[in-house]
Amino acid sequence: MIFKKQVIVKGTGKESSYGYRLLKTWAEIDIPILRNNIRVIAKRAGKGTDIMAVVKCNAYGHGAVEVSKEAVKLGVKALGVSSLSEGIELRNVFADVPIIVLSAGMSGQAKEFIKYGLSPVICSWQMVNALSEEARAGGTKARIHIKIDTGMGRIGVWHEQADEFVREVYKVPGIVIEGVCSHFATADEKDLEFARRQLKWFVDFLEKIKDIPVRFKHISNTGGIFNLPAARLNMIRPGLSIYGVSPSDFVKGSGEFRPVLSLKTKIAFIKEIPKGRTLSYGRTFVTDRKMKVATLPVGYGDGYPRLLSNRGYVLIGGKRARILGTVTMDQMMVDISGIKNVKVEDVAVLIGRQGREEITAREVASMADTIPYEIFTSINKRVQRVYIDRD
Query: Could you tell me if residue 224 is inside a domain?
Result: yes
User: Do 225 and 367 fall into the same domain?
Assistant: no
204 and 290, same domain (yes or no): no
Q: What is the pLDDT of residue 9?
A: 52
Task: Give the per-residue pLDDT at 3.
Answer: 40
Radius of gyration of the chain from Cα atoms?
A: 24
Q: Which of 5, 14, 200, 281 is catalytic?
A: 281
CA atoms of 164 and 170, how far apart (whole Å): 10
Same domain, 114 and 209: yes
Residue 372 inside a domain? The answer is yes
Q: Could you tell me if residue 39 is inside a domain? A: no
190 and 82 share a domain? yes
Q: In this structure, is the dihedral angle defined by the CA atoms of residues 285, 363, 260 and 247, taken in order, positive or negative?
A: negative
- Domain limit, last residue, from 229, 249, 269: 249
pLDDT attached to residue 255: 85
The answer to pTM > 0.85 is yes
For the domain that residue 333 is a member of, what is the CATH number? 2.40.37.10
The reply to whether 77 falls in a domain is: yes
pLDDT at 391: 67
- Whether 189 maps to a domain, the answer reads yes
Is 12 part of any domain? no
Q: What is the pLDDT of residue 18?
A: 43
Q: Which of 56, 147, 264, 266 is catalytic?
A: 56
pLDDT digits (tens, 9 = 90+) for 29-86: 999 999 999 999 999 999 999 999 999 999 999 999 999 999 999 999 999 999 999 9
Considering the domain architecture, whether residues 242 and 297 belong to the same structural domain is answered as: no
The tens digit of pLDDT for each residue in 224-237 reads 999 999 999 999 99
Active-site annotation holds for 208: no
Q: Answer yes or no: do 270 and 353 share one domain.
A: yes
For position 136, what pLDDT does the model report?
97
217 & 329 share domain: no
Q: Are residues 133 and 203 in the same domain?
A: yes
Domain shared by 161 and 222, yes or no? yes
Q: What is the pLDDT of residue 21?
A: 77
**60 among known catalytic residues:** no
Residues spanned by the domain of 108? 46-249
The answer on 282 and 238 residing in a single domain is no
Per the domain annotation, does 191 fall within a domain?
A: yes
Number of structural domains the chain divides into:
2
Specify whether 219 is located in the same domain as 329: no
Strand-strand pairing, 157-158 and 119-122: unpaired
The pLDDT value recorded for residue 17 is: 47
Residues in the chain where the model's pLDDT stays below 50: 1-6, 8, 11-13, 16-18
Pair (236, 265) in one structural domain: no
